[in-house]
A and B are shown apart, each in its own frame.
Chain A
Amino acid sequence: MTDAVLSVRDLVVEIPTRHAVLKPVDGVSFDIAPGEILGVVGESGAGKSMTGNAVIGLLDRPAHISGGEILLKGQRIDNLPYARMRKLRGAEIGMVFQDPLTSLNPLLTIGDQLSETMIEHLGISQAEARKRAIAALDEVGIPGAADRIDSYPHEFSGGMRQRVVIALALCAEPSLVIADEPTTALDVSVQAQIIALLRRLCRERDTSVMLITHDMGVIAETADRVAVVYAGRLAELGPVAEVLGRPRHPYTEGLMGSTPAASAGRARLHQIPGSMPRLGHLPPGCPFHPRCPKAQDDCRADPAPTLAACNGRAACWHPVNSPESEAAE
């Protein structure tokens, strides 16, 4: 795909430590088309936030990109100097973080924060920026936007703060928004409001979204395509209804089975034994094989299965629910 808004090619992030070089992201590749919502799902420590931070150039040292490329509308952005990347952040890529209280400056009014972003990236006047800031707040559903614009972040509730953060991420009209666990800190009813808002705004502006979350339900309802991450690698990538409805990778299948569903009643939950391997102690071969019910000898030996080596959908030598495996049964 050449018209993709974001292309990530074989991305590797390394963290050098005293004992070894850890790879929290190892060979991740995906594209996001214009207006598409890509869900990135995985458990804690899988490398999903690290991938998002690498795209926007906010990796904390000593973590750094050591391989692969990141292309935004065909332009490489992973090797840009700091000043250029700074211009890009906010203007071309917006970011929504998990905790709205720590991503807003408590000493500035929300109007100042919105205006600052727009003046910096759009080069408009102070008065114009203020007018647009009110419109932006109105659009994200803050009642009485003209009165609330001079309020400080602490004067808003959690859901309202997240609306402000979304307004902030979208005010310079970026082509890509990275939303890192945008609703994890919120209640269910507020989560539904925020998700609906994010979807509506991105559809109206044709903005692409990289939605990072651990919540399979949010992914199912929101994303167009989904990438399942395990131990820094892509386990499965494809349209959301296919990946979640008929998972090919045993890890995705296990995740779906262990998520309680209201309709399922008191049935025993499916269990994935063990826990995710620590980065310094990855097993040889497929990183999932010690927990996998279908592991065979080739899974335990290098090279590990990758998406490219396994028909692009699931990084697994023995996928479940695939046409071949069903024919064999």
Chain B
Amino acid sequence: MTAIVTVKNLTRRFDVSKPWLNRVIERLPKRKLVAVSDVSFEIEEGTTYALVGESGSGKSTIGKMLVGLLDPSEGAVEIEGVNLDTETDRARIDKVRSDIQMIFQDPYASLNPRWKVRDIIAEPVAARGGKTQGLAERLLKQVGLSADDAGKFPHEFSGGQRQRICIARALASEPKFIVCDEPTSALDVSVQAQVLNLMSDLKDDYGLTYLFISHDLTVVSHMADTVGVLYLGRLVEEAAPGDLNARPAHPYTQMLLEAAPQLDGFGREVDPPKGEIPDPINPPPGCAYNPRCPFVVDRCREERPQLRPFGTGRVACHRAEEVVARMEKAS
């Protein structure tokens, strides 16, 4: 298996300072928000890599950097061995760009209301001067809509159908790698099931590679081959979903799993998690999770834990061994 996507030490900072005049008058320093901090991972060809995290964890920012909608502040993204930031050969850039597509969260905002579905779906191909004859009709059938729908406008479709159109558009340029940013969060459960099943089928048919971004651990466990858990812009744990659910090694992952409502958890009394996500402009020193962590020791407040191999995956926690041992003892 070869890695189709390699992310190395990816960091993204946003400038959230006040306008310079305010800074001069009020004598304020510049302020930087670190949305993604030193994240590294690889995605193997033909697999689904999921990024899961709460709001503000940087998962969408990573997705945008992978497709080139944002530039990294530090670090590099390589897709099929090509770093789109530094590559100078136009032909190679073009080739790689046409291999990447994206599906967005809100199917109401990501389709142009003035365009017919046929034009929307064919655009990725038309923009490169490709042949679009019959393309939209064929793709619509593939995603479970009818060929007649090509002449309609987006407002004539429901949310689930619109997301199918978005998927058809993403498939039009025959990409190898698709970034799916919360593709089902805006959908009802029964429609979500339809879309998730469709995405799994297409992956098998076309041999696609997905980066699946979601806040929902259950959806992620269902779709992914590997799950990366993000907290405050840092990758804190990475494992196969089965291992992650059975033996979470990072206290944050444990908390997330514990807090997620369970379908058979009738009357379950959860000890609710403590605290909230800290301010990303002034993250706590050391491990970002230390103010909320039940396992915290002095070392966690001083030294940022590096992502290290642990069991079948990787974890960024100084005390992962004790965390797992305590959980196994409890159960």
Taking Cβ atoms with an 8 Å cutoff, the residues of A that contact B are 43-44, 157, 159-160, 187-193, 195-197, 214-218, 220-221, 240-241, 244-245, 254-266, 268-272, 275
Contacts and interface: CB of A to CB of B under 8 A. Distances in A.
Given A193-B273, A275-B158, A265 B242 contact: yes
B120 to A, nearest CB: 21
B241 interface: yes
B55 interface: yes
Interface centre among B219, B259, B260, B261, by most A CB within 10 Å?
B261
B265 A255 contact: no
A262 B193 contact: no
A196 B219 CA distance: 23
Nearest to B225: A266
Contact of A188 (B158, B221, B259, B266): B259
A240 B255 CA distance: 25
Given A245-B264, A265-B221, A189 B255 contact: yes
Given A193-B272, A269-B222, A220 B266 contact: yes
B262 A272 contact: no
A96 B95 CA distance: 52
Interface in B243-289: 245, 255-270, 272-273, 276-277
A158 B215 CA distance: 16
A220 B264 contact: yes
B261 A217 contact: yes
A189 B197 contact: no
A275 B265 contact: no
Contacts, number: 133
A265 B215 CA distance: 17
Contacts of A218: 261
Contacts of A216: 189, 263
B188 A269 contact: no
8 contacts: A157-B276, A192-B259, A217-B218, A220-B266, A244-B266, A260-B196, A261-B263, A262-B245
B266 A240 contact: yes
B139 interface: no
Given A192-B272, A221-B267, A262-B221, 16 more contacts: A160-B276, A192-B261, A192-B273, A214-B189, A216-B263, A221-B261, A221-B262, A221-B265, A240-B266, A244-B263, A258-B192, A258-B194, A259-B193, A260-B196, A261-B262, A269-B197
Given A217-B260, A217-B263, A256-B263, A264 B188 contact: no
Given A189-B256, A263-B245, A275 B189 contact: no
B256 A188 contact: yes
A244 B218 CA distance: 18
B263 A220 contact: yes
A43 B197 contact: no
B5 to A, nearest CB: 21
A258 B187 CA distance: 12
A116 to B, nearest CB: 27
A270 B193 contact: yes
A74 to B, nearest CB: 29
A218 B216 CA distance: 13
B261 A269 contact: no
A43 B221 CA distance: 23
A221 B263 CA distance: 8
A109 B208 CA distance: 52
Interface residues of B, number: 45
B96 interface: no
B215 A188 contact: yes
Contacts of A262: 217-218, 221, 241, 245, 257, 260, 262
Q: Counting chain B CB atoms within 10 Å of each CB, which of A44, A240, A245 scores highest?
A: A44
B191 interface: yes
A100 to B, nearest CB: 14
B54 interface: yes
B200 interface: yes
B160 interface: yes
A245 B266 contact: yes
B190 interface: yes
Nearest to B55: A187
A214 B270 CA distance: 20
Contact of B188 (A43, A157, A188): A43
Contacts of B221: 260, 262, 265
B256 A258 contact: no
Contacts of A272: 190, 193-194
A187 B160 contact: no
Interface in B74-109: none
B262 A217 contact: yes
Interface in B231-245: 241-242, 245
B189 A259 contact: yes
A255 B192 CA distance: 11
A220 B255 contact: no
Closest 7 CB pairs of A and B: A217-B261, A258-B193, A192-B259, A43-B188, A187-B54, A269-B193, A260-B222
Interface string B200-215: 1000000000000001
Contacts of B265: 217, 220-221
A260 B194 CA distance: 12
A270 B192 CA distance: 11
A187 B276 CA distance: 10
Chain B CB count within 10 A is highest, among A157, A197, A215, A221, for A221
A159 B196 CA distance: 29
B104 to A, nearest CB: 19
A192 B270 contact: yes
Contacts of B256: 188-189
A215 B261 contact: yes
